[in-house]
Homo-oligomer: A and B are copies of this chain.
Amino acid sequence: MPQDALHALIPRLATSVACDILRKHAPERLLMQGVRAMWPAPGLAAGPARTLRYLPQRCDVKTAPGGNARTKLLDSLNPGEMVVIDTMRGHGPVVGDLTGLRTLRAGAAGVVTDGPVRDMPEVAQTGLPIFAAGVMPAIPEAPELAWEHDAPIQCGGVLVLPGDWILADAEGVLVVPKSLLGALVAGADALMSEEAFSRALIDRGHNLADSFPIPARLRPAYEAWRKSGVLPDEATVRGA
């Protein structure tokens, strides 16, 4: 199952590495715009998406026809899930310290929204990873409407379907379609290994032209290093 392999990868993964692996799939279009980490959480937050869609408040609509979809979503979370909230870049905060605490106690992996959040100092203390468009302390007298959950949404300009994976860290929030999970897992080892080889050469003082991306003439040396862990000597790298 790609999901299990992905779980095992998370400690070594970053959104930038995932983008490199998915480079043939236009990852720049899978990256949310205007959404960033609200406090410097360590490492990568990742998990399958549970979606929530907001619509703007209006004088004649007090609540969504099906009731408050936010409460329903947060009270039905399973461990490891990522909450993803489409606010159409709305102006009122949709998560705060109490809803954040509920999310954490439910075992969720994090929260992503393209609207503002609040109570970030308190949320940061709990350790819940939050990715949002900014902070705003006031809930308007007529807040926006939590309309439906677990339906297709956009968030930060990217389509999110229930069950897609979300990868989020200090550099961005990436939506990985379910159909690409296998490609992500399959490509991770090769990419990280190639970058480690290049990094070792650069760290020893070599030029970019001799180390990254790995030149064709150094492919055999790279394969040898993969097996033996022994770097080629300096003359070999320089092609002298």
Residue positions of A touching B, CB distance < 8 A: 14-16, 18-20, 23-31, 55-61, 70-71, 74-75, 88-89, 91-92, 96-99, 101-102, 105, 118-121, 135-141, 145, 147, 152-154, 157-159, 161, 169-172, 174-175, 177, 179-180, 195, 198-199, 202-203, 205, 207-209, 211-212
Residues of B with C-beta under 8 A to A96: 16
Nearest CB on B from A136, distance (A)? 7
Residues of B with C-beta under 8 A to A25: 59
Instruction: Assess the A26–B141 pair: CB atoms within 8 A.
Output: yes
Nearest CB on B from A48, distance (A)? 16
Nearest CB on B from A152, distance (A)? 6
Instruction: Assess the A172–B137 pair: CB atoms within 8 A.
Output: yes
Q: What is the CA–CA distance of A92 and B120 in the complex, to the nearest angstrom?
A: 30
Known contacts A75-B209, A137-B174: does B56 contact A158 (CB below 8 Å)?
yes
Contact with A157, one of B26, B56, B74 (Cβ below 8 angstroms): B56
Residues of B with C-beta under 8 A to A97: 199
Residues of B with C-beta under 8 A to A169: 121
Listed residue (A19, A137, A202) with the most chain B CB atoms within 10 angstroms of its CB: A137
Listed residue (A26, A138, A175, A202) with the most chain B CB atoms within 10 angstroms of its CB: A138
20 A-B residue contacts at CB 8 Å?
A: A16-B119, A20-B139, A23-B141, A29-B58, A30-B138, A31-B138, A56-B157, A61-B159, A71-B208, A74-B208, A75-B208, A98-B195, A99-B208, A102-B202, A102-B211, A118-B171, A119-B171, A121-B170, A137-B172, A138-B174
Instruction: Assess the B207–A102 pair: CB atoms within 8 A.
Output: yes
Known contacts A16-B137, A102-B207, A171-B118: does B88 contact A154 (CB below 8 Å)?
yes
Instruction: Assess the B60–A177 pair: CB atoms within 8 A.
Output: yes
Contact with A137, one of B61, B75, B171 (Cβ below 8 angstroms): B171
Residues of B with C-beta under 8 A to A174: 137-138
Contact with A15, one of B18, B59, B137, B199 (Cβ below 8 angstroms): B137
Instruction: Assess the A171–B139 pair: CB atoms within 8 A.
Output: no
